[in-house]
Amino acid sequence: MSALRAILIGGLIILVIAVLLVWGAVRYQIRPYESGPRAEVSWVEGGTPGIVRVAVRDATGETAPGVSVHVLNESGGNVATTDESGISSHQMGEAEFTGLSIDGVWVVKRPHAYMLGEPNVNAGLLIEVRKK
């Protein structure tokens, strides 16, 4: 009986570890922020439906005009340049958001987030980027 009990306990431990690993991977894909070596990025759903609005600031917090912003989705996404207020606007043909690059440097990569439905561009998406 003790061998069976040891197998059951071992199986339970493996199951708990597997659940924690999957939860960590899912949480990473849907969390509404990204902190990387190049930028701090956060977002909320809202604004104009189907539009991704990106506000870019430099390391001092000042607006960053003239920045190339690529919002990625499963169709390739949309590229725009920030205006004098540091804002770019992107009309998206699909609901998913899978990545963001600033001046050619990827600051968000969420290739599986669209399968989880978050974030969703249908209700609009407001993204704030602070370059480091």
131 and 56 in contact (C-beta within 8 Å)? yes
Please report the pLDDT score of residue 1 as a whole number. Answer: 62
Instruction: Compute mean pLDDT per 10 residues along the chain, 132 residues long, and list them.
Output: 81 80 66 89 94 97 97 92 98 90 94 74 95 94
Closest CA to 72 of 47, 102, 31: 102
Report, in this order, helix, strand and coil percent for the chain, each rounded to 5.
Answer: 25, 40, 35
39 and 67 in contact (C-beta within 8 Å)? no
83 DSSP assignment: -
Please report the pLDDT score of residue 28 as a whole number. Answer: 64
H helix and E strand count, the chain? 2, 9
Nearby residues of 41 by Cβ (< 8 Å), 6 or more positions away: 33, 34, 35, 100, 107, 108, 127, 128, 129, 130
Nearby residues of 47 by Cβ (< 8 Å), 6 or more positions away: 53, 123, 124, 125, 126
Please report the pLDDT score of residue 24 as a whole number. Answer: 64
pTM: 0.80
- CATH number for the domain running over 33-131: 2.60.40
